[in-house]
Amino acid sequence: MAKDMIKASAPLEIDIQQAFRKRLYYVAPRVHVVAVPNAGKRTRWAAGQAKREGMSAGFPDVVCLWPARGVAFIEFKRPGGSISDNQLDWHMRLHDMGHDICLAYSADQAIDFLRSCGAPILQQSGPDSAANAVRAFT
């Protein structure tokens, strides 16, 4: 019951991602974010086409790139959300390849994660970020 109440009042993953992109635009203009459209409802034909184009279930939501070969991956979840087995597999695979990967429950956590990876962030992102940031598998 309590978990249902958290989910009902928690922002959606897309809301967290949008807040992240908006804040990042101002605090890290040299960081480029590419969304990976793995989720969503598709017709059977569109799902097959996406798979033929290289879509892979569980790949992180966004890839962040910055000068000097900076790259990091972020999976967004709403508070109380958890990752799937496919997502865990991708997280472990990327970590084993030496990449930074994060499971973030807020825009501030994601920005703090990028800062910890060496991304060129201009200022602090928010009050709840440092104490609650989750950096997975590092």
CA distance 58 to 48: 16
pLDDT greater than 50 at residue 53: yes
> Domain of 43?
2-132
Q: What is the pLDDT of residues 4-20, one digit of tens each?
A: 554 567 789 999 999 99
Q: What is the pLDDT of residues 71-109, one digit of tens each?
A: 999 999 999 999 999 999 999 999 999 999 999 999 999
Task: Tell me if 104 is assigned to some domain.
Answer: yes
What's the pTM?
0.76
- Supply 82's token pair: 């958890």
Give the strand order in the sheet containing 32-35.
32-35, 62-66, 70-76, 100-104
pLDDT greater than 90 at residue 38: no
**How many structural domains does the chain have?**
1
CATH number of the domain enclosing 96 = 3.40.1350.10
Q: What is the pLDDT of residue 79?
A: 92
Number of helices (H) and strands (E) in the chain: give both, helices first.
Answer: 6, 4
Q: What is the pLDDT of residue 71?
A: 97
